[in-house]
């Protein structure tokens, strides 16, 4: 198995905060596309500002760009009829990863979802992060939000683009192969599965002259972290463990659904015990029963070790980012789709970018520090230990259900 990303120099990495800024950057890239667009997302919702991305995909396809879009069957179970017609007319090719079928999530194998958010344009420009194609001010379950969702992505040029494009292309052809098998088109299926094993060449055009693009963006050493169920089962978790173990001054992790396994908890505890300031920025607003309540039983031992926990209350926190030692000799940061919970680290397809660059790390550190200081509430040990019995009961029930779910999938965490 491959555990460590290949970190290369010569990238241009731009940190993007929030869906509005992300959509605007995507639209600019899509409107400049010449040959191909590959996009993957967990949720593709057409409400509000998200429709601007759909319209840009449509425009690209209408002018002859090959546009491939893959969405997850849980996050995006269906395409609205008007948009299905528009995409078909324009030539946007839309595929759904692991549709639920009749029994839905009652089948444990269907808990393996496509959760990564990636886009590659013309093999030269890439996007990666935690932001779905979903309006920041709208939630499908909760309606209009008073404040925008808190999330991040990156826009990147350089050698980082090649592995993103390759992993997306491989998944596409595997899905095409399965599609052909179900239609009993076996020669076509064989061709698709062979195509899934291809390795795309890294051309001079793909590399591009970085001096001609985005001069103000950070030039960084960066790499791609993946999690899947074949080659990259633990790459993201191992990268976190290595970075936490190497931290000497400061750790900030912002994570929407936080339920770390024993190794990650121990790593955070050991870091705090050796004098590293460890701060966690976690979801403070109730969104889903399991994710909200299952995380709280692990707070106790973290607080006892000196880990600071802050709950974000301004809106829904959806970020999956971390930054360590931003002001020191060995900064480390990551932005991506992976939560630190068993669904992300054991079951889902995820993608994070890791960046080793002081300027980038300081920018992310500054934004997270502002959110901790101004938009969050600290979890105090005395309040946590005295929370009502009915709340503790819900926490234990959710924690137990999560452990049962993992047992049913055959995983230990």
Instruction: Cite the active site residues.
Output: 115, 117, 122, 318, 320, 325
Strand-strand pairing, 308-312 and 277-283: parallel
Give CA–CA dist 46/253, Å, rounded: 30
346 Cβ neighbours under 8 A, 6+ residues apart: 406, 409, 411, 413
**8-state DSSP, 343:** I
Query: Bridge-partner residues for 253, per DSSP?
Result: 280, 322
Separation CA 63–CA 60 (nearest Å): 5
Across the strands, what pairs with 277?
Answer: 250
Tokens for 215, please give them.
Answer: 């001069």
Q: What share of the chain is helix, strand, coil (3-state, %, to 5)?
A: 40, 25, 35
Residue 112 DSSP class: -
Q: How far apart are CA 349 and CA 114, in angstroms?
A: 5
Question: Residue 165 has which token pair?
Answer: 């494009």
E strands of 228-365, at which residues?
A: 250-255, 277-283, 308-312, 320-324, 332-336, 350-356
Q: 3-state DSSP call for residue 14?
A: strand
Cα separation, 276 vs 236, whole angstroms? 21
Cβ neighbour number for residue 317 with a 10 Å cutoff: 26
Residue 254 contacts by C-beta under 8 Å, 6 or more apart in sequence? 150, 280, 281, 282, 312, 317, 319, 320, 321, 322, 368, 371
What Cα–Cα distance (Å) separates residue 276 from each residue in 83, 327, 359? 50, 13, 21
Residue found by looking up tokens 């491959």 in the block: 2
Scan for tokens 């051309």, then name that residue.
203
Dihedral angle sign, alpha carbons of residues 347, 350, 356, 362: negative
């Amino acid at each position: 198995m491959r555990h460590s990303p290949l970190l290369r120099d010569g990238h241009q990495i731009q940190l993007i905060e929030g869906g509005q800024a992300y959509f605007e950057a995507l639209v600019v890239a899509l409107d400049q596309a010449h040959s191909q667009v590959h996009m993957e997302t967990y949720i593709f919702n057409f409400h509000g500002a998200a429709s601007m991305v759909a319209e840009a995909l449509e425009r690209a396809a209408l002018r002859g760009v090959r546009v491939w879009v893959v969405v997850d069957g849980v996050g995006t179970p269906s395409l609205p009829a008007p948009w299905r017609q528009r995409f078909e007319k324009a030539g946007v090719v839309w595929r759904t990863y692991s549709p639920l079928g009749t029994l839905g999530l009652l089948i444990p194998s269907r808990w393996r979802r496509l959760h990564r958010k990636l886009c590659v344009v013309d093999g030269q420009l890439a996007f990666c992060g935690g932001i779905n194609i979903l309006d920041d001010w709208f939630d499908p379950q909760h309606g209009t939000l008073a404040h925008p969702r808190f999330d991040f992505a990156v826009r990147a040029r350089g050698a980082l683009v090649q592995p993103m494009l390759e992993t997306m292309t491989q998944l596409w052809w595997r899905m095409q192969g399965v599609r052909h098998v179900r239609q009993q088109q076996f020669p076509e299926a064989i061709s698709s599965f062979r195509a899934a094993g291809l390795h795309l060449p890294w051309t001079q055009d793909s590399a591009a002259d970085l001096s001609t693009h985005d001069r103000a963006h950070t030039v960084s050493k960066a790499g791609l972290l993946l999690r899947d169920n074949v080659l990259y089962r633990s790459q993201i978790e191992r990268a976190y463990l290595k970075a936490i173990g190497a931290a000497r001054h400061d750790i900030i992790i912002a994570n929407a659904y936080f339920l770390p396994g024993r190794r990650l908890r121990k790593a955070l505890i050991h870091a705090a015990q050796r004098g590293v300031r460890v701060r966690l920025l976690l979801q403070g607003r109730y969104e889903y029963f399991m994710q909200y309540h299952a995380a709280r039983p692990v707070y106790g031992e973290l607080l006892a070790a000196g880990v600071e926990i802050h709950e974000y209350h301004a809106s829904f926190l959806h970020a999956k980012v971390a930054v360590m030692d931003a002001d020191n000799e060995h900064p480390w940061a990551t932005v991506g789709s992976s939560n630190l919970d068993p669904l992300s680290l054991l079951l889902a397809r995820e993608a994070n970018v890791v960046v080793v660059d002081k300027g980038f790390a300081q920018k992310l550190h500054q934004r997270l520090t502002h959110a901790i200081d101004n938009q969050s509430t600290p979890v105090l040990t005395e309040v946590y230990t005295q929370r009502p019995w009915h709340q503790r009961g819900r926490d234990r029930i959710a924690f137990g259900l999560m452990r049962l779910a993992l047992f049913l999938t055959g995983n230990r965490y």
